[in-house]
Amino acid sequence: MNVFNKIKPNEVPLSLKGMKEAFLTFFKIGIVTFGGGYAMIPMIEEEVVNKHHWTDKEELLDLIAIAQSCPGVFAINISTFIGYKLNKKTGALCTTLGAALPSFIIILLIAMFFHQFADNKVIAAMFRGIRPAVVALIAAPTFRLAKTANISLTNCWIPIACALAIWALGVSPILIIVVAAVAGYVYGQFIKPTE
């Protein structure tokens, strides 16, 4: 199944100026985001939903779900899917390059100069200070997405059980995704309509 069939492209594709703006938006997101793809979610939401209105919160939640369930790096997946929505293959290429280039450039520079500051106490202290901030950057959008996904006190046990199964029992995240997809399908087809 082609995952792009699940994404509804905009009726009017972005112009060349709009594609440049999309590239620069994802470049900016990529260059200032620390802590991986999940830390990008608040910035993506701010830029894509609130500032540029390229999508709404519900559709962004769907795109995040698709990006999480696809193999590969989350940040690249989400930027690719948003770009595809904006202007199909051209949009996907622009936003993917925008999101990936900052990391590529930074890693290249670190690889070139890492040996010069690997044992620097100031740099090590800076990284220790960044870690708690990264946890907050990941936690904040998680709670916002939980509200958008209608996670309430009655069904909050599902993400908690999944997280505990992965962390404490070593269950594969792939198995969690497959089980959740099957359970969601069964619930939507057989249980929810009869309620």
**Distance of alpha carbon 105 from alpha carbon 99, whole angstroms:** 11
pLDDT of residue 150: 79
Tell me how far CA of residue 153 lies from CA of 23, 59, 147, 175, in angstroms: 39, 23, 11, 24
**Distance of alpha carbon 145 from alpha carbon 41, whole angstroms:** 9
**Distance of alpha carbon 34 from alpha carbon 38, whole angstroms:** 9
Computed over every residue of the chain, the mean pLDDT equals 83
**Distance of alpha carbon 92 from alpha carbon 72, whole angstroms:** 15
Query: What is the dihedral sign for C-alpha 104, 35, 56, 49?
Result: negative
Do 82 and 62 touch, CB atoms closer than 8 A?
Answer: no
pLDDT of residue 193: 59
Instruction: Using pLDDT thresholds of 50, 70 and 90, give the confidence band for residue 4.
Output: low
Instruction: Find tokens 């905009």 and name the residue.
Output: 10
Instruction: Using pLDDT thresholds of 50, 70 and 90, give the confidence band for residue 11.
Output: low
Q: What is the pLDDT of residues 162-187, one digit of tens each?
A: 989 998 999 998 899 899 889 888 88
Q: What is the pLDDT of residues 26-41, one digit of tens each?
A: 999 888 876 666 778 8
pLDDT of residue 118: 67
> At residue 97, does pLDDT exceed 90?
yes
**Distance of alpha carbon 49 from alpha carbon 57, whole angstroms:** 6
Among 112, 80, 73, CA closest to 95: 80
* Every domain of the chain and the residues it spans: 3-150, 153-195
Instruction: Using pLDDT thresholds of 50, 70 and 90, give the confidence band for residue 6.
Output: low
Instruction: Using pLDDT thresholds of 50, 70 and 90, give the confidence band for residue 50.
Output: very high
pLDDT of residue 129: 85
Instruction: Using pLDDT thresholds of 50, 70 and 90, give the confidence band for residue 3.
Output: low
Do 7 and 63 touch, CB atoms closer than 8 A?
Answer: yes
Q: Once rounded to an integer, what is the mean pLDDT over residues 54-79?
A: 87
